[in-house]
Amino acid sequence: MASQIGGESDRGGSRRVQRSQGFAEEVVNILRADIMSLRIPPDTRISIDHLARELGVSQTPIREALSMLEAMGLVTKRHYVGYCSAPQLNRKQVDELYEMRLLLEPYAARRTAQRMTPELAQTLRTLSDAMEPRDELESYDRFAQLDAELHDAIAAGSGNDIIQESLARLHSHFHIFRARSHSEVTREAYGEHVTLVNALTSGNADGAEQAMREHIQKSYDRLLPFATA
């Protein structure tokens, strides 16, 4: 049975939404950061009523935001319970997730290197540079979002829509970074991304495929100790 979070006593301090419009998007950003930082632990019920009072909005943008987070794989909706943060991945799910990534992403990286354009090269470099760790307290949620955008850009660059859509549905980046909120992960992943992007932007198909394969394997090794039984 999921525990519950969402009351003022759980969350501490006032965090009322400031915008006059775009409430749902701002609520998404707040809740996503809380889930990624484990402020909202895995498999925890999220109270719509308490969130509405805390953030100073009606229940409508809260429900819209939770629906968006459900599409990202960060929230689940259960009968008789309501919305909960997604449970942590178990060992079987981790293994299956990475089996799929290893089947698709190295090939996508090879194809993207072969199809590289100056515009895509600039996009990849910009995303990679933005992920460079500069502050120990830098938003972990932001790093995970950039990681997802980088991998999606590589998948899109392959020219294979089915591969891109299949990888997007895995929501792997949010699950990976939610498991380990530590600065060492961002440093390690950043270095692997630099190697990968260098191979991609130089059109080195063999190097890009190998760099992606090694990055996924190292990501698996980092995540596995935190998977549930």
Domains of the chain in start order, with CATH, are 3-85 (1.10.10.10), 91-226 (1.20.120.530)
What is the number of residues in the chain? 229
> Would you give the distance in Å from CA 227 to the centre of its chain?
16
Separation CA 87–CA 85 (nearest Å): 6
pTM over 0.85: no
* Of 10-24, 74-88, 106-120, minimum mean pLDDT range: 10-24
Separation CA 137–CA 52 (nearest Å): 28
User: What was the pLDDT predicted at 9?
Assistant: 37
Confidence class of residue 126 from pLDDT cuts 50, 70 and 90?
A: very high
User: Does pLDDT of 118 surpass 50?
Assistant: yes
From the list 149, 125, 217, 143, the residue with the least C-alpha distance to 184 is 143
Contact call for residues 39 and 77 (beta carbons, < 8 A): no
Mean pLDDT score of the chain, rounded to an integer? 86
User: Coil, helix or strand for 98?
Assistant: helix
